[in-house]
């Protein structure tokens, strides 16, 4: 095995597991998963046998491998390849689609901007663990994207947005912003299952429950930093695991590091 070969993964969770890997040559023998395998090739190129054909995913392309479909994997170019993969429970995908059967995506390799964006979002802070409601949002969005490319392309009738349920969830997330909120808590508060809530919340407020909650934390962090609170104390007070965790989220939201925000907000 090439010395540069590497796999990083998180423990398997009920609905979603993330893996990041790179290989210089042979990667995997023929195998299959009981989950969807949805991935993004970061650099290089990889090829794999799938449903009787040899498929190749180059840098920037996404792969959708259906549950229980045999496949292998190896580098196609001398430089090797690197990729990220989501392993997603098909039952969760079905639940997110209102109980319809999990879609089969015929184009196993594709240029898909929306799916690429979702995968980058899912790995933005890897290997930092995803919060439960962040997992819900990723699975819900992934289910929509798979269904849009699926062989049946099921179409649900347009549903009226459940604004009151979404508002109850939003108010709860505001009040509980500094802590990790369980999916079951939001289900109880809103009266909707986690995937229906994700759809209705996005329709009502243009974002997911998790992004909204993180935004509330960051607004508070912004004020604390401007007042002179040390970054380590700010991170602890606003629900971030540590200062580096705060910095990554703060920079992604505001386009500035917390340190630069501190200096600019106190300048003059």
| Per-residue confidence (pLDDT) for residue 49, from 0 to 100 | 96
| Encoded tokens for 152 | 């049946």
Q: What is the mean pLDDT of residues 29-54?
A: 95
Could you read off the pLDDT of 239-251 as tens digits, one per residue? 998 999 999 989 9
Per cent of the chain over pLDDT 70 is: 95
Least confident of 3-7, 130-134, 219-223: 3-7
Prediction pTM value:
0.83
Residues of the chain with CATH 1.10.10.60: 157-268
Q: What is the mean pLDDT of residues 191-207?
A: 89
Residue 156 has pLDDT above 80, yes or no: no
Higher-pLDDT residue of 171, 98: 171
Residues of the chain with CATH 2.60.120.10: 6-149
d(CA 122, CA 125): 8
- Classify domain 157-268 at the CATH superfamily level: Homeodomain-like (1.10.10.60)
| DSSP bridge partners of 9 | 19
Q: What is the mean pLDDT of the chain?
A: 90
**In CATH, what number does 6-149 get?**
2.60.120.10
| Encoded tokens for 104 | 């089969």
Q: What is the mean pLDDT of residues 200-227?
A: 89
Per cent of the chain over pLDDT 90 is: 70
Higher-pLDDT residue of 160, 118: 118
Question: pLDDT band at 1, cuts 50/70/90?
Answer: very low
| Per-residue confidence (pLDDT) for residue 66, from 0 to 100 | 93
Higher-pLDDT residue of 74, 12: 74
Residue 109 has pLDDT above 60, yes or no: yes
């Amino acid at each position: 095995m090439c010395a540069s070969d590497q796999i990083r993964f998180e423990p398997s969770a009920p609905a979603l597991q993330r893996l990041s890997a790179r290989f210089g040559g042979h990667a995997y023998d023929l195998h299959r998963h009981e989950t969807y395998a949805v991935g993004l090739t970061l650099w290089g190129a990889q090829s794999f046998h799938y449903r009787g054909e040899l498929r190749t995913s180059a840098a920037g392309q996404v792969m959708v491998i259906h549950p229980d479909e045999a496949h292998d994997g190896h580098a196609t170019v001398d430089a090797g390849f690197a990729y990220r993969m989501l392993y997603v429970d098909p039952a969760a995908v079905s639940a997110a689609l209102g109980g319809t059967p999990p879609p089969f995506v015929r184009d196993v390799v594709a240029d898909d901007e929306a799916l690429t964006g979702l995968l980058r979002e899912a790995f933005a802070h890897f290997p930092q663990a995803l919060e439960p409601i962040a997992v819900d949002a990723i699975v819900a969005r992934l289910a929509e994207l798979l269904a849009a490319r699926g062989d049946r392309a099921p179409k649900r009738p347009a549903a009226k947005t459940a604004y009151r349920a979404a508002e109850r969830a939003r108010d709860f997330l505001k009040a509980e912003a500094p802590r990790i909120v369980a999916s079951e808590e939001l289900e109880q508060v809103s009266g909707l299952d986690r995937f229906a809530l994700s759809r209705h919340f996005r329709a009502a407020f243009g974002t997911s429950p998790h992004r909204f909650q993180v935004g509330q934390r960051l607004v508070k962090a912004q004020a604390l930093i401007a007042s002179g609170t040390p970054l380590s104390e700010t991170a602890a007070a606003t629900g971030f695991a540590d200062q580096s965790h705060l910095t990554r989220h703060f920079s992604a939201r505001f386009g500035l590091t917390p340190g630069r925000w501190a200096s600019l907000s106190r300048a003059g």
